[in-house]
């Protein structure tokens, strides 16, 4: 009965590659496998890491690989590991690009809005009116706070805002005439078809 247990333990335990064969393979083929991986990955550090992984996998293999085919076996392992590594890198790269696109999309929108606001504010020629408009609309100060910041009365701030907005509207009218939009309202209601009820 005891001999039966030892037979089972021998069959269940994976056979490891002979230590001397492994050392010879490591000494003889390490530089060739690393060079091969450098050609594929184009990165020395990744190639060295993958070469180490090749030898770890070789160490875990059974004695089923003949000694004369070890180099070919290592190349196959190296190629497969390099392909896996490149695929993983591509997936990571795609995920990073998608994340950057989301961030850039938000940034681009904000930049476009800021550029549009700056363009509108630049239509106001008078520096005092422009400064008051920027403080009031862009920075969000109240009329009282704006009056304190520019050292003017609240009524003068209101009047400056009125003139600045009037200038922007007049320029907007010129632009709409030039583009052929003069007779069109800016916000036209949506025309819905009339549906007869039965």
Q: Give me the half-sphere count of Cα atoms (radius 13 Å) on the Cβ side of residue 96.
A: 6
The whole model's pTM is what? Answer: 0.43
Delimit the domains of the chain by residue range. Answer: 11-96, 122-178
pLDDT tens over the chain, length 198 residues: 445 554 544 454 455 667 888 888 889 999 999 999 999 888 899 899 999 999 888 888 766 778 888 899 999 999 999 988 888 887 777 777 777 665 555 566 777 777 777 788 888 888 888 888 888 877 888 999 999 999 999 999 999 888 888 888 877 765 556 555 555 555 555 555 566 665
In angstroms, the CA 59 to CA 67 distance is 13
Right CATH number for 11-96 from 1.10.1740.10, 2.60.40.10, 3.60.10.10, 3.40.1500.10?
Answer: 1.10.1740.10
- Which DSSP letter does residue 61 get? S
In angstroms, the CA 33 to CA 57 distance is 14
In this prediction, residue 8 carries a pLDDT of 46
Looking at domain 122-178, its CATH class is mainly alpha
């Amino acid at each position: 009965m005891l001999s039966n247990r030892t037979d089972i333990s021998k069959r269940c335990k994976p056979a490891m590659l002979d230590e001397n064969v492994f050392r010879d393979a490591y000494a003889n083929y390490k530089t060739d496998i690393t060079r091969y991986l450098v050609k594929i990955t184009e990165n020395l550090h990744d190639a060295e890491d993958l070469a180490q992984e090749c030898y770890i996998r070789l160490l875990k293999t059974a004695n089923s690989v003949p000694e004369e085919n070890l180099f070919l076996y290592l190349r196959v392992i190296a190629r497969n590991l390099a392909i896996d590594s490149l695929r993983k890198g591509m997936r990571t790269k795609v995920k990073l690009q998608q994340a950057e696109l989301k961030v850039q999309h938000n940034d681009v929108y904000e930049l476009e809005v800021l550029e549009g606001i700056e363009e509108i504010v630049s239509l106001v020629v008078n520096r005092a009116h422009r400064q008051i408009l920027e403080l009031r609309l862009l920075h969000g100060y109240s009329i009282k706070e704006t009056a304190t910041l520019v050292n003017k009365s609240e009524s003068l701030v209101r009047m400056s805002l009125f003139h600045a907005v009037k200038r922007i509207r007049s320029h907007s009218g010129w632009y709409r005439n030039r583009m052929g939009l003069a007779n069109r309202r800016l916000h036209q209601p949506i025309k819905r078809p009339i549906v007869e009820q039965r």
